[in-house]
Amino acid sequence: MPKPRLNVLIVGAGLGGLSAAIATRLAGHEVLVLEQASTLSEVGAGIQIPPNSSRFLISWGLREAIDRVSVLPEAFRLRSYRDGNVLSEQPLVPLTEEVYGGPYWHCHRADFHKALVDKCYSIGVKICINSMVTKIDFEAPSVTLASGAVIGADLIIGADGLKSKCREELLGRLDPPQLTGDLAYRILIKVEEMRKHKDLEEFIRKPAINFWMGPQAHAVCYLLKGEGYYNIVLICPDNMPENINVMTADPSEIRQFFKSWDPRLQKMISLVSSVTKWRLQNSTEMASWTHPSGKFALLGDACHATLPYLAQGAAIAVEDGGVLGALLGKLEDRSQLPAVLKMYEGLRKNRTTSIVLGSTDQRDVFHMEDGEEQKRRDEVMLRDAVRPGF
């Protein structure tokens, strides 16, 4: 008997929605992605793609496209905030390929997103922009757009991010993400500016992830492809006005906050001419990601937004897409769809919850005040370089 060919509708063309689109299309189904924005792009600057994500991307034929726009960091270096001394160094090349089956890539988000969009188009995924979903009929199933148009499908996947309308429709109530008490300053500085300072040379000579830990804050820095830009993320306590989640900030804020940190980090911050800050929010675990009709499921930040302290938010959204696509590829009869969605949820929910909770726990490790506990942490890090686990 021929396998069923479903019409799958995905809400949201973010990294999660596009990954699900690729995996589902490669599994033999028709895929339409609806995106509210008027252009296809990604906001923010750099992104880390760990091997639990790169393995899927490679299996979809994306190694060359992402390699072309990425840097391979040789190591992950955890540093003390005061002097930048390396407390722990975890090699990434060739370890992640050999042990975890994929590279650890860095790239600009826009390049990652474009690689996914190009792949979608090359395999026949349809993407419609200017298509904001405002309502879902879970039984039909169908979505209503802001324009009033109604679009039906066999299966609807809600991949519409942190402030998900799909989650709200599924729950039948507003369910805003929770504040975490932290924010992220996201910054790009020009490598040619860094080159003027001899003491910054080590950060651009050999690509690595450099990570400074200090009281209430941390900094994550890495080189982007082409040596044009250096990516800096500074995490600090949330100081944003109520109800504003993204805004431009005065660079003097970060100069003041980090004034007693490693002089080299301070020097990088002195090169910053413009900066945006983002309130960091996450989700509590939902009771279910699927609708009882068996024709709808959530994916990515829409159901498991996380603090970025394990660099896993997009990675687990890619995993969601990969697992969903693999299961849909096994479908032999349409009547199996509700069971397949339950299986998807069963395979994913515990894992993503442990990553969301684990990311929050990392804050206590990274943001320790100076004192006995912090000295013990540093001693342990110096003694046993911890292997990453993907």
**Which of 19, 9, 2 is closest to 297 using CA atoms?**
9
CB closer to ligand FAD, 48 vs 210: 48
DSSP-derived secondary structure letter, 175:
-
Sequence letter at residue 24: T
> What SS3 state is found at 226?
helix
CB closer to ligand FAD, 143 vs 194: 143
Q: How far is the CB of 70 from ligand FAD (least distance, A)?
A: 12
Q: Which residue is nearest to ligand FAD (CB)?
A: 14
> What is the C-alpha to C-alpha distance for residues 143 and 149, in angstroms, rounded to an integer?
8
Report the interhelical angle of 15-26 vs 313-328 (nearest 10°).
20
**Which of 361, 327, 364, 319 is closest to 344 using CA atoms?**
327
CB closer to ligand FAD, 21 vs 27: 21
CB closer to ligand FAD, 11 vs 69: 11
Sequence letter at residue 337: L
State whether the Cα torsion 149-150-156-161 is positive or negative. positive
CB closer to ligand FAD, 280 vs 327: 280
Q: How far is the CB of 307 from ligand FAD (least distance, A)?
A: 8
Q: How far is the CB of 345 from ligand FAD (least distance, A)?
A: 16
Cα–Cα distances in Å, from 146 out to 111, 131, 161, 256, 302?
29, 7, 18, 44, 19
In which order are the strands placed within the sheet that holds 105-108? Answer: 46-49, 105-108, 70-71
CB closer to ligand FAD, 143 vs 331: 143
Q: How far is the CB of 338 from ligand FAD (least distance, A)?
A: 23
* Contact predicate 31/82, CB 8 Å: no
Interface positions with ligand FAD (CB under 6 A): 11-17, 34-37, 47-48, 131-133, 159-162, 165, 184, 186, 233, 278, 280, 300-301, 308, 311-315, 317
Alpha carbon 117 to its chain centroid, in Å, reads: 16
Q: How far is the CB of 370 from ligand FAD (least distance, A)?
A: 25
Sequence letter at residue 319: E
CB closer to ligand FAD, 311 vs 381: 311
Q: How far is the CB of 301 from ligand FAD (least distance, A)?
A: 4
> What is the C-alpha to C-alpha distance for residues 80 and 211, in angstroms, rounded to an integer?
9
* Contact predicate 90/386, CB 8 Å: yes
Q: How far is the CB of 91 from ligand FAD (least distance, A)?
A: 19
Q: How far is the CB of 236 from ligand FAD (least distance, A)?
A: 12
CB closer to ligand FAD, 29 vs 106: 106
